[in-house]
Amino acid sequence: MMDDPYRNLANAIIVQAAKDYRKALRQLRRNPRYETARNEKNEVERFFHSEWFHFLTDADPDYLLDYLARAEI
């Protein structure tokens, strides 16, 4: 059975957002005043709570954000 390319794309979008979120959290841990990292963090959080995210997956955005934040500690 072949993989669904649209599902693969949706997963890749979410994985990249998760990587961007973790990177922003690391940068903010080093420098809490880093505005670029704060903006990236906020942008990813908005994406995770958007209709677009819910179109891509049935995953719980709050669970994912919490998991990603705890994984950074």
> What is the pLDDT at residue 72?
64
4-31 pLDDT, tens digit per residue, is: 999 999 999 999 999 999 999 999 999 9
Residue 24: burial class (beta carbons within 10 Å; 0-12, 13-18, 19+): buried
Average pLDDT over residues 28-36: 97
- Compute CA distances 15 → 1, 31, 53, 68, 69, whole Å: 23, 24, 12, 11, 14
